[in-house]
Structure formats: structure tokens, C-alpha cells
């Protein structure tokens, strides 16, 4: 017990003297991979507060040696501003009884997380549409892991979940354990035919995937102006203005969806046959949501029970569109514009 307490004391003493505003390795690695690409705010704010610090190095060493104690994991989670909460609730997962559902049985692909479906033909200035949460992301904000810690972890797969739960001090058969299981299920499954996918657990890993798929001439698109909390009263938003981007651009884009994990984690997939749309949406409180949406021109590979088909009253294969929430990111090639 004294050994555990000493380890915690070392971690906290390092936190107390180390600045928490360092960009460190992640930003440097991003610049080395995509030097001319400006980070979107959501990703810039996700750089770990203990990046490039002794606490990150010591924790990574503990992970590599298998010398983790609950007190050490808990103190690292606190210092790194992670969400290591056994009972965290996220509305988009629909988990009610973790004993009966080791993962949310309705989640089979990343598309099952999408909501607020619409038809492109209905996206016209002056119209209205109903949004479930005004594009608020129900997944809580949390930083990426420091690069050195991310490198010390095993791949995100079902076989590695016991060690990953130990790393973040997460008990088995809890809602967070279920969400980590869902993340592993999504990330270790093969990509859909014609797609490439990756689940970056660090900023550098996302940059490397974007570079490998789209090259270095890229820009990010993302939704802004969404509320910090979901509105308590649901009311339609008014469509103020619409921009429909080119079909050529939509032939190759990367969509990065945030998924629940103690640290920031994204499911990024390189898709084809899409169109990017943007719209200014005026909410009931008169605020403006600058929304980014994706129209999938061919949904024939989607599961027949996908909720978009029922919501839009369309057949499998027909075009379907959805908005992305405030923390998701779309990467497009600027060479096609």
C-alpha cells in the first residue's frame, strides 16, 4: 500500500509543477505530417494537458511494464482530464442494462450512431427541419492521450479490453466498460467494401491517416454554433442559407466521428460517393448553427434495418444525408476544389 501511495505522490507532484498548456509531441508530430493544415478548434482543444511531460512518460512506462495500480491510473486520469467514470451516460448509446448487453446491440456500424437524417432535396433556404439535439454532441469533451501513452497501449480490440480497462481504472460490467467494448467492436471490424478506416487515439495518428488517404493538401470542415447542452424543448430550426459542395470533392473524403472512450477517440473512414453540404440553421433562441452534413449517394451497403430508411421513408440504396455533430471532423482534399 505504501508503494501505491508513493507512486500517486510522484504523479501529483509532477502535475503541480508542470504547465498544462504545452502542445508538445502531438502538435509537433502533426506539424511534421501536415505542416500546412490548420487544426480545427475541436482538435486543438483536444491536445493533452500533460503532453510531453514527465507524468506522461512515467505513466507510459508503467503501462509498458504492466505495473499499474488503481490509484496510479485514477491520478493519471485526473491529471490528463480524461473521463474515467464507470457510470458515464451518453444518450446516443442507448444502454439500459449492461448486465444483459455487453455492448449496445443496435450498434453494428459507425452509421448506426448517426441521426438527424434528411433528404438533400429538402435542404432549401427558408425551410425548416427538426434536429434531435441541435447538433450538440452527447459524448463529453476529453483530450487525446499524450503521444507517448498512446504508443504504449495495445491495439483497441476485444482481446485487449481487460488491459485497457485496467489502464483507465474502469470496472467490468459498467456503462463505460460497455462503451469501450462498443469502440473495440467498431474499430477492429473490417472497413466496408471500398472504404479505408482507422481509429486514431492520438492527434498524430489522425494526421497520419489523413495524409495516407488524401495527401497533404487537405482542409477540415466541422459544425460550429451547436449548444453546449442539448435543448430541453425540441423545436424546428430555420434554414437560412445552403451551400452544396462539388461531387468531385465528395468522391474522396474522410469523416472522423468521435466515439466514447476515456480519452478522445475517433472513428475515421475514407468514403467515396458522397456530397458535402453546409447550412446556416437558426435555432429557436436565435442562435446560428453552422452545420456540415454528408449526403451518401448510394446506401446499398447499409444494413436494411438502418434507421435512415424508416426516418426518410426511402428504400435501401437511395441517397440519404445526415449532419455531423460539433466534435466530428470532415477532411476534404483541396486539390479537387
pLDDT in tens, 249-282: 999 999 999 999 999 999 999 999 999 999 999 9
Write down the pLDDT at residue 280: 97
CA dihedral 319, 322, 327, 333 (to 10 degrees): 30
Nine-digit cell at 283?
A: 435555432
Cα(258)–Cα(273) distance, integer angstroms: 22
The per-residue pLDDT for 3 is 42
Rounded average pLDDT per 10-residue block, the chain, 337 residues? 42 35 61 84 90 93 91 95 92 58 56 82 94 89 93 95 96 91 92 91 92 94 91 88 93 94 96 95 94 94 83 93 93 81
Instruction: Give residues with Cβ within 8 angstroms of 131, minimum separation 6.
Output: 116, 237, 281, 323
Contact in structure between 215 and 252 (CB atoms under 8 Å): no
- The answer to pTM > 0.75 is yes
pLDDT at 233: 76
- Could you report the per-residue pLDDT of 27-81, keeping only the tens digit for each? 777 888 888 888 888 898 899 999 989 999 999 999 999 888 999 999 999 999 9
Q: In what order do the strands lie in the sheet with 237-244?
A: 117-118, 320-323, 288-296, 274-282, 237-244, 128-129
User: What is the model's pLDDT at position 196?
Assistant: 95
Q: Using CA of residue 191, residue 268, residue 216, residue 336, what is the dihedral sign?
A: positive
* Cα 59 to Cα 7, 24, 151, 155, 322, distances in angstroms: 10, 16, 12, 17, 40
Please tell me the predicted confidence (pLDDT) of residue 336. Answer: 61
* Residue 94, pLDDT score: 64
Residue 182 and residue 93 in contact, taking contact as beta carbons nearer than 8 Å: yes
Please report the pLDDT score of residue 18 as a whole number.
30
pLDDT at 106 (0 to 100): 57
Q: Three-state SS string across 119-149, please?
A: CHHHCCCCCEECCCCCCCCCCCCCCCCCHHH
d(CA 259, CA 78): 20
Specify which residues 294 forms β-bridges with.
276, 322
307's enclosing H/E stretch is: helix 307-312
Amino acid at each position: 500500500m505504501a508503494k501505491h501511495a508513493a507512486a500517486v505522490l510522484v504523479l501529483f507532484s509532477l502535475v503541480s509543477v508542470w504547465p498544462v498548456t504545452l502542445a508538445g509531441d502531438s502538435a509537433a508530430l502533426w506539424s511534421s505530417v501536415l505542416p500546412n493544415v490548420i487544426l480545427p478548434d475541436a482538435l486543438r482543444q483536444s491536445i493533452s494537458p500533460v503532453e510531453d511531460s514527465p507524468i506522461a512518460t512515467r505513466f507510459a512506462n508503467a503501462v509498458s511494464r504492466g505495473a499499474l495500480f488503481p490509484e496510479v491510473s485514477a491520478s493519471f486520469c485526473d491529471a490528463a482530464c480524461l473521463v474515467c467514470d464507470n457510470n458515464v451516460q451518453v444518450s446516443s448509446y442507448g444502454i439500459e442494462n449492461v448486465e444483459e448487453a455487453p455492448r449496445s446491440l443496435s450498434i453494428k456500424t459507425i452509421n448506426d450512431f448517426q441521426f438527424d437524417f434528411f433528404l438533400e432535396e429538402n435542404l432549401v433556404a427558408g425551410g425548416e427541419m427538426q434536429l434531435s439535439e441541435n447538433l450538440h454532441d452527447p459524448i463529453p469533451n476529453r483530450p487525446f492521450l499524450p503521444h507517448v501513452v498512446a504508443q504504449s497501449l495495445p491495439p483497441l480490440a476485444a482481446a485487449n479490453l481487460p488491459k485497457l480497462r485496467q489502464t483507465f481504472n474502469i470496472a467490468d460490467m459498467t456503462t463505460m466498460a460497455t462503451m469501450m467494448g462498443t469502440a473495440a467492436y467498431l474499430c477492429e471490424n473490417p472497413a466496408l467494401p471500398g472504404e479505408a478506416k482507422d481509429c486514431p487515439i492520438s492527434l498524430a495518428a489522425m494526421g497520419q491517416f489523413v495524409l495516407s488517404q488524401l495527401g497533404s493538401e487537405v482542409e477540415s470542415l466541422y459544425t460550429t454554433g451547436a449548444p453546449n447542452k442539448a435543448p430541453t424543448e425540441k423545436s424546428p430550426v430555420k434554414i437560412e442559407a445552403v451551400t452544396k459542395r462539388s461531387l468531385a470533392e465528395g468522391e474522396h473524403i474522410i469523416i472522423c466521428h468521435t466515439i466514447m472512450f476515456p480519452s478522445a477517440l475517433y472513428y475515421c473512414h475514407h468514403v467515396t460517393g458522397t456530397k458535402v453540404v453546409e447550412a446556416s440553421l437558426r435555432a429557436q433562441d436565435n442562435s446560428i448553427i453552422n452545420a456540415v452534413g454528408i449526403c451518401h449517394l448510394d446506401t446499398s451497403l447499409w444494413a436494411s434495418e438502418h434507421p435512415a430508411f424508416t426516418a426518410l421513408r426511402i428504400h435501401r440504396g437511395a441517397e440519404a444525408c445526415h449532419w455531423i455533430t460539433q466534435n466530428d471532423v470532415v477532411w476534404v482534399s483541396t486539390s479537387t476544389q
